[in-house]
Amino acid sequence: MTALTKPLIHLAGITRLYQVGDSEVRALDGVDLTICAGEFVAIIGPSGSGKSTLMYILGCLDQPTSGSYVLEGREIARATDIELSRVRNRSIGYVFQSYNLLPTLTVTDNIALGLVYAGVAAAERHATARDFAGRFGLGQRLDHRPQELSGGQMQRVAIARGLACRPHLVLADEPTGNLDTKTGAEILTTLKTLHAEGHTIVLVTHDPTVAAQAQRVIRIVDGRIVSDDLNAGFSAGHGEAASVGAEQTPPATSRTEPADGMRFADLLRMAWHEGLAAHALRTLLTMLGIVFGIAAVIAMTAITEGGKEEQLKQIRQIGRNNIQVRSLDLEGTRLARVRRLNPDGVSADDLARIREVFAQEQGIVAATGWKGIKAELKLGTQAIDFANVLGVFGDFEQVTDFHVGQGRFLAPDDEAQRRRVVVLGSAIAEALKLGDQPLGQVVIVGDEPFEVIGVMAAKAFSKGGVADITVIDRNQDVYLPHASLRAYFRKAERESPFDALSLRLASEERLLGASELIRRMVAELHHGADDFVVSVPLEAMRQAQRTKEVFNVIIVVIAGISLVVGGIGIMNIMLASVTERTREIGIRRAIGASRSDILRQFLTEAVLIATAGGILGLVLGVGSGLLIQGLFAFPVAFNGWIMLIATVSSMAIGIGFGLYPAWKAARMDPVEALRT
Ligand code: ADP
C-alpha cells in the first residue's frame, strides 16, 4: 500500500497527567507513535491502561500535558479551541461505544450534525445525510429517532455522522462494545470497508478478537506502548462492501471545503427546537415573569397615556391657553368679611383692568365673563325646570371655542342696550321643540320674555373633569347678555357680578407668568379680599399628570422587578438545562462545535425565551388595554416606543441572564461532558 508512506499522525513524548488529590496519575507516559494514512490500527490494552486518554488526545478532545502531536502535518498539541474544533469537525470522524446520538434529532439530522458546524446549508446537508444513510442501509429510517433504532443501526448512524464531513481519519472507541457478536462483526466489516476505500482507521478495544481484525496492533499498558505489531493474517475489506450497502462512500479526497462556523439560521432553528419546543410547558412557565412585566408596562402606560390624551381633549374643550378668574362661593361671616374689603366681587372692572394691562403686551387674544343662574324656561306647553342661564359678556364664543350654529351670537350692542335676546344650547332648543325655525320665537326665562336670536351648534363635551375644573355640557346652556341678566333678574345683593372671567392667551408659554400677574392685579383691586381664585386649566392638568407620573414610575419599578425575576427564572432554567444536557454538549463538541458555538447556542435559547416572553407580554398588554377600553369605555393610547423598548429590554434580559449559563456550557470540558 503506497499510502502507508505518508504519516498522518505523529506523536512524540506524549504525556497526560491527572491530578487526583495530592497524587498524580500518569494516564499516558511518553507515547511515541506514528500512524500513516491508510492504516487500520487497533489499540489494545487492559482497563485503565490509558487507551481512552490516548483516543481523546488523538481526537483533539483533550490536550496532552507535554509532547508533540502532529496531525496532517500540523502541530496541534497546543492549538486553540477554534483550531481544535475545526480539526474535530473536518479531519476526524469519531465513533463511540455508546453511539452518542442526540435523542431529539432524526437519523438525518444526527448524520448531518457535523455539517451544521461546518456551516453547510440545510438542503445540501440533508442531501449528504441521505446519501450516507443510504450507504449504511438506513434509507428507510431517515425520520426515525435514535430510540426507535437497534444498537447496530444506531452505531451505523454514528459512523455515517462521523463520515459526513468526509474526514480522512476515523477514530472508533470500543465501537462494538455495546453490541452483540453478530452486529459487532457487521460494524467491524463496515470499518474494514471504509479502510479499503482509503480511510485511516484507529480502533480502541480491550477485546483481542476485535484487535485481531486490524492491520496493525498496538498494545498499551500503564500509559506506555509495549508492543506494535503488523498483523500477518490481515485481510483487506475489499469486496465486503456489499454487506453494508451497495454504494461506495464518496472518496475521502472529494470533500468540499465548507464555510466557516455555524449559520445564524441554524442557530435559531436549534434554539427553537432544543430550547423552546422541546420543553414547551417549562419554557412557558419560565417566561411568565417577563410576560407579566411587559404586559403590565404596556397596559398601564396605555391607560395613563389614554387618560392624558382624554384630559388634553377636555382642556381643548375648555379652551387650551385659558386663564380663569373665578369668584369663590362664600357664605356667612366669610362672605361678609370679604365684601367689607371688596363690595364688588369679581367685576367688569377687574376684566377692564386686566385687558388694559395686557393690551400693551398683546398677550390676551380674547376675554369673556359670565354669571349663571338657574331659571325655569318655557315655550308654549314645553318647560324646563332648572335651566343653566348664563349672562355672558365679551368674546364668549372665541374663548370657549363654542360657536353658534344658527342665527347669531350675542353682540356688544345687545349688551349695551340690555336687549331681551337669548341664544340657546342645541339640547335646550331641542327640548323646547323649537323646530326648524327657532329664530324670532319668544322663550320665557323665569318670568321674562326673550327673543331667540341664535342656537349654538351641537358639540360633544366629554363627561368628567380635569383636576379641579369641571367640564360641563354646554349644549344645555342658555345665553343672555350679561347686562340683561343683571337688569331683569333680581340677585342677592352681595353676589359677585361674575362667576368667572376667562381669558385666552396667544400662546401657552406665558400662561403661568400671566396668571401670576393677574392674580396679583386682582388681589390689589380687591383690596386683599380673598374672594377669587385664578386657575390655569392646562397647568392644573399638568400638575395632575405629574402626580400620575409618580404612579408611572411605580409601575415601571414593579415591571422592572418582574423582568429581573423573569430573568432570574430564565437563568435558573438555563442552568438546569446546561446540567441536564451535559452529554449533548460533549457530543456537539466531539462533532466539531467550538466553545463559541456552544455559547451562542445556549445564549440564543435564553434570548429566544426572553424575547418570546416579551412578545407574549406585548400581546397580553395590548389585549388587556383594549379589553379595559371595551369594558369600561376608558380611553387607552398605545405608545410604539414603549413597545419597542419593552421588546428590546426583554431581549437584553435574555442576554444578561443567559450569558452565565451559556458561558458555563461553553467552558465545559468535552471529555468530562462525554463521560456523564
Ligand atoms: P482505559 O481507557 O484504558 O481504561 P483511561 O485512559 O480511561 O484508560 O485511564 C487511564 C488512567 O488515567 C486510569 O488510571 C484512570 O483512572 C486515569 N484517569 C483517566 N481520566 C481521569 C481523570 N479525568 N481524572 C483522573 N484520573 C483519570
* 169-173 and 200-205 strand pairing: parallel
The answer to whether the CB of 47 is under 6 A from ligand 1 is yes
C-alpha closest to that of 503 among 402, 317, 358: 358
Atom number of ligand 1 nearest to Cα 16: 12
At 361 the pLDDT is 61
Closest residue by CA, ligand 1 atom 18 = 27
Pairing label, strands 382-394, 40-44 = unpaired
Task: Decide: 25 in ligand 1 pocket, CB within 6 A.
Answer: yes
Candidates 17, 26, 53: which one to mutate for ligand 1, based on the most atoms within 8 Å of Cβ?
53
> Ligand 1 pocket test: which of 14, 15, 16, 18 has the largest number of ligand atoms within 8 Å of its C-beta?
18
Supply the residue whose CA is at minimum distance from atom 22 of ligand 1. Answer: 18
- CATH 3.40.50.300 corresponds to the domain 38-60+80-260: yes
Average confidence (pLDDT) per 10 residues, the chain, 676 residues:
69 94 93 95 94 94 94 88 92 93 94 94 94 92 94 94 93 92 92 93 93 94 95 67 41 48 88 84 90 90 83 73 85 82 86 79 81 90 90 90 92 93 93 89 92 91 60 87 89 76 83 86 88 83 76 83 91 94 95 94 94 94 92 86 91 96 96 90
Q: Which long-range CB contacts under 8 A does 575-578 form with residues at least 24 apart?
A: 575/660, 575/661, 575/664, 577/275, 577/279, 577/602, 577/605, 577/661, 578/602, 578/661, 578/662, 578/664, 578/665, 578/668
Contact 67/77 with Cβ under 8 angstroms?
yes
Signed CA dihedral, 664, 669, 672, 673: sign only: positive
pLDDT at 615 (0 to 100)? 94
The predicted structure's pLDDT at residue 274: 81
Domain assignments of the chain as residue spans, ordered by start: 38-60+80-260, 278-310+543-675, 329-530
Span from the CA of 218 to the centroid of ligand 1 (angstroms)? 18
Q: Which three cell numbers stand for residue 493?
A: 345683593
Nine cell digits for residue 104: 431529539
Ligand 1 pocket residue status of 50, Cβ below 6 Å: yes
Q: What local confidence, expressed as pLDDT, does residue 252 receive?
A: 41
- Give 223 Cα–ligand 1 centroid separation in angstroms: 9
CA distance 288 to 199: 52
Determine if ligand 1 sits within 6 Å of the CB of residue 537.
no
pLDDT of residue 473: 83
CA distance 522 to 503: 14
Ligand 1 neighbour 205 (Cβ under 6 A): no
The alpha carbon of 403 is separated from its chain's Cα centroid by a whole number of angstroms, namely 49
What DSSP designation does 274 have? I
Cα 35 to ligand 1 centre (Å)? 23
Could you give the CA distance from residue 160 to residue 234 in angstroms, rounded to a whole number? 24
- Can you spell out the DSSP letters for 219-246? EEETTEEEEEEE-TT----TT-GGGT-S
Supply the DSSP symbol for 434. -
Residue pointed to by grid coordinates 386682582: 522
Phi, then psi, of 37 in degrees rounded to 5: -60, 135
The per-residue pLDDT for 463 is 64
Sign of CA dihedral 658, 661, 665, 667: positive
